[in-house]
Amino acid sequence: MDKRKKGSNSTQKAKKSKVTEESSFDAQFAYLKDDVDPAPEVYTKKPVQPTEVKPGQLTPKQVDEYFDKGFLLVKDFFKPERLNKVRKAVDQLVDELVNKLYDAGKIKDKHADKDFFTRLSYIEKQFKGTSVILHKRGVLHDEFKALWSDDKLLNVVEQLIGPDIAGHPVWNLRTKTPHNEQATVPWHQDNAYLEPRSLEVHQLTAWIPLVDANMVNGCMQLATGGHRAGKTLKHTCCAGGTWYVEMQEKDLDQLGVDASKDIVTCEVPYGGVLFLNNAIPHQSLENLSDIIRWSLDLRWQRPDKPNGFYGIKDCVVMRKKDDPKYVIDWSELSGCCRSQLQMKKVDEDDTDLHPEIAGPWMKRWDIVHHNRHTELLNHHKDTYTSWHKA
Ligand SMILES: O=C(O)CCC(=O)C(=O)O
Ligand SMILES: [Fe+2]
């Protein structure tokens, strides 16, 4: 065998193994293209209501409204002092990241004199993508844990999903700096970020702004009643220069929604909570103000159903009907990036300061538009992928 032939043989082999790797990578996600049957009752049937009266509980009318519309706004749920602690935690996380960027030589000015409402924007101006990095880091501060498992909040969760409660691993600190495409989330159903079978379990989100969220700084819009069909519409990937999947507003009629009258713009004052389910279409508006529209989205579901998060992370049990003294074991959440996806994670620091996000939801839908986030999915599939939550 002459050298050239040998060379071409090994090139062929390399090509073949590349093809095999690619098809096995794709094969892992083939199941994401499967349809599941509509599950309207998951979203419209309220659980047996608790008999005990507890702080924070919704009125029966509010519970009915949630199941009828697919969302519910409760103003003045938290006292400002309660959320001020969460703001402080955010300040700490910003400070940590600023120091990291400074030490890495990415920024020259730490803007330590700026406040909760503006500091991240100043940093973003020096190092584009800082707000995405903060979102992506997903540091679960103790104050976030305390809010997520807040008794008053869980008393509402109990009314909406039942007495056995688990925190869903997809939670987010939204770092919505002004005029930032990366934080403007287009129309979607949360189910679209998960495995198709997530349609079969009611996942409840509490969307908690850390400022007065309004039309100017980018509050949410929701399509009233869009959950009643119990379907996840076709989404595409990815919107503009972001990692978000999107559905078309014009397709809302497939869910029985009349876009001309059923879309609600939901301003939420500081202290308020917007509850929504995982089948309700929603989007967030652009932030046209000069402050950061901070918010947290926290989720729960019943623990005995799969969470639809690709085997990446489990839920964290927060309440057990039969064990009123149950204490949360937060280490349940730390099991990250498990074998199913055969991920090899590289040195944290290497990817930590990169403002790109990729995740398995990109494999669920047709990628009709490529950008630096979808590139991450393709380039690193045989080394690592910085899988992330939506
Ligand atoms: O906060 C936002 O801008 C979007 C939030 C969202 O889509 C969610 O909480 O599910
Ligand atoms: Fe969402």
| Residuewise pLDDT in 10s, the chain (390 residues) | 333 333 445 555 555 555 666 677 788 899 999 989 999 999 999 999 999 999 999 999 999 999 999 999 999 999 999 999 999 999 999 999 999 999 999 999 999 999 999 999 999 999 999 999 999 999 999 999 999 999 999 999 999 999 999 999 999 999 999 999 999 999 999 999 999 999 999 999 999 999 999 999 999 999 999 999 999 999 999 999 999 999 999 999 999 999 999 999 999 999 999 999 999 999 999 999 999 999 999 999 999 999 999 999 999 999 999 999 999 999 978 654 444 343 444 344 456 899 999 999 999 999 999 999 999 887 655 544 456 666
For position 14, what pLDDT does the model report? 53
How far is residue 259's CA from residue 320's CA, in Å, rounded to a whole number?
40
How far is residue 75's CA from residue 78's CA, in Å, rounded to a whole number?
8
Q: Which of 73, 148, 207 to mutate to test the pocket of ligand 1 (most atoms within 8 A of CB)?
A: 207
For position 10, what pLDDT does the model report? 53
Instruction: Report whether 116 contacts 122 (CB < 8 A).
Output: no
Q: How far apart are the first and last CA of the chain?
A: 53
How far is residue 296's CA from residue 51's CA, in Å, rounded to a whole number?
30
How far is residue 62's CA from residue 57's CA, in Å, rounded to a whole number?
10
Ligand 1 mean position, distance from CA 7 (Å): 52
Q: Nearest to residue 29, comparing CAs of 389, 305, 384, 377? A: 377
The reply to whether 174 falls in a domain is: yes
Q: Which of 135, 174, 180, 211 to mutate to test the pocket of ligand 1 (most atoms within 8 A of CB)?
A: 174
For position 24, what pLDDT does the model report? 79
For position 240, what pLDDT does the model report? 95
The reply to whether 12 falls in a domain is: no
The reply to whether 104 falls in a domain is: no
Total domains present in the chain? 1
Residues framing ligand 1 (Cβ under 6 A): 174, 176, 185, 190, 205, 207, 282, 284, 295, 297
Q: Which of 268, 284, 288 to mutate to test the pocket of ligand 1 (most atoms within 8 A of CB)?
A: 284
Q: Which residues, including other chains, have CB under 8 Å from residue 173's CB and lie 6 or more apart?
A: 90, 93, 134, 135, 138, 144, 294, 295, 296
Ligand nearest 295 Cα, by number? 1
The reply to whether 259 falls in a domain is: yes
Range of the domain at 64: 27-78+142-379
The reply to whether 220 falls in a domain is: yes
Q: What is the CATH number of the domain that holds 306?
A: 2.60.120.620
The predicted-structure confidence for 66-116, as pLDDT tens digits, reads as follows 999 999 999 999 999 999 999 999 999 999 999 999 999 999 999 999 999
Query: Measuring from atom 10 of ligand 1, which residue has the nearest CA?
Result: 190
Predicted TM-score (pTM) of the model is 0.92
How far is residue 169's CA from residue 181's CA, in Å, rounded to a whole number?
25
Q: Nearest to residue 309, comparing CAs of 181, 133, 171, 179? A: 171
For position 28, what pLDDT does the model report? 86
The reply to whether 283 falls in a domain is: yes
Ligand nearest 221 Cα, by number? 1
The reply to whether 130 falls in a domain is: no
Largest CA distance in the chain: 85
For position 13, what pLDDT does the model report? 55
Closest approach atom of ligand 1 to CA 297: 9
SS (H, E, C) the chain: CCHHHHHHHHHHHHHHHHHHHHHHHHHHCHHHHCCCCCCHHHHHCCCCCCCCCCCCCCCHHHHHHHHHHCEEEECCCCCHHHHHHHHHHHHHHHHHHHHHHHHCCCCCCCCCCCCCCCHHHHHHHHCCCHHHHHHHHCCCCHHHHHHHCCHHHHHHHHHHHCCCEEECCCCEEEEECCCCHHHCCCCECHHHHCCHHHHHCCCEEEEEECCCECCCCCCEEEECCCCCCCCCCCCEECCCCCCCEECCHHHHHHHCCCHHHHEEEECECCCCEEEEECCCCEEECCCCCCCCEEEEEEEEECCCCCCCCCCCCCCEEEEECCECCCCCCHHHHHCCCCHHHCCCCCCHHHHHCCCCCECCHHHHCEECCCCHHHHHHHHCCCCCCCECCC
The reply to whether 335 falls in a domain is: yes
For position 59, what pLDDT does the model report? 98
For position 332, what pLDDT does the model report? 79
- Its sign, for the CA torsion 184, 189, 192, 193, is positive
